[in-house]
């Protein structure tokens, strides 16, 4: 196994652990959904440091662990995974942190919010079918905007002091 793959896998594991632990300490309910902004911050950090595939994998594993531990719901999957993959693709193509933050909000808030509806019907039962198709967009947007603000503060501070480039080049060696 190459050294850079081991580094990336290690960072992905640490970020995944941060997402799971963050969901224990920093979540709040909004309209029947558990908002976990740390997950969205982690999605953006994975996008910037690791790329879309590691971000997608970390989001899936974090969602799975949160569900197995009883700290999340089935709705964690579309929200975190759509956002992680879209912001990973945007950063990979543009290298622009601001566009990456916007991509996370669109990927999680809109795409993930809409994708949550069929899952809610399939796994949460008839009461989920009684709500509007767009009902999960608002709580997902609230959660992802909060996480994107956290990530934006961190990324722009790292960018300002040169830490962002140093961390990225350390992962590319």
pLDDT per residue as tens digits for the range 143-171: 899 999 999 999 999 999 999 999 888 88
Give 64-117 pLDDT, tens digit per residue: 999 999 887 888 899 899 999 999 999 999 999 999 999 999 999 999 989 988
Count other Cβ atoms within 10 Å, centred on residue 149.
Answer: 15
Confidence (pTM): 0.89
Q: How far is CA 10 from the centre of its chain?
A: 17
Interatomic CA distance for residues 81 and 88, integer angstroms: 10
Among residues 133, 55, 166, 163, the alpha carbon closest in space to that of 100 is found at 55
Reading the block at residue 133, the tokens are 């198709």
Among residues 154, 146, 161, the alpha carbon closest in space to that of 49 is found at 154
At residue 28, the pLDDT reads 76
Return the SS3 of 74.
Answer: coil
* Residue 129 region by backbone torsions, left for phi larger than 0, else alpha for psi between -120 and 50, else beta: alpha
What is residue 75's DSSP assignment?
T
């Amino acid at each position: 196994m190459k050294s850079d793959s081991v580094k990336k896998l290690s960072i992905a594991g640490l970020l995944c652990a941060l997402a799971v632990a963050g969901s224990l300490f920093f979540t709040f309910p909004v309209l029947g959904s558990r908002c976990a902004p740390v997950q969205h911050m982690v999605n953006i950090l994975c996008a910037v440091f690791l790329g879309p595939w590691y971000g997608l994998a970390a989001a899936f594993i974090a969602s799975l662990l949160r569900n197995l531990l009883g700290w999340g719901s089935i709705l964690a999957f579309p929200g975190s995974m759509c956002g992680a993959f879209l912001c990973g693709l945007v950063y990979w193509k543009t290298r622009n942190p601001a566009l990456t933050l916007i991509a996370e909000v669109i990927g999680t808030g809109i795409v993930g919010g809409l994708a949550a509806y069929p899952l809610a019907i399939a796994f949460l039962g008839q009461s989920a079918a009684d709500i509007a198709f767009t009902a999960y967009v608002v709580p997902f947007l609230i959660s992802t905007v909060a996480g994107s603000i956290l990530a934006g503060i961190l990324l722009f501070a790292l960018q300002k002091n040169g830490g962002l480039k140093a961390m990225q080049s350390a992962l590319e060696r």
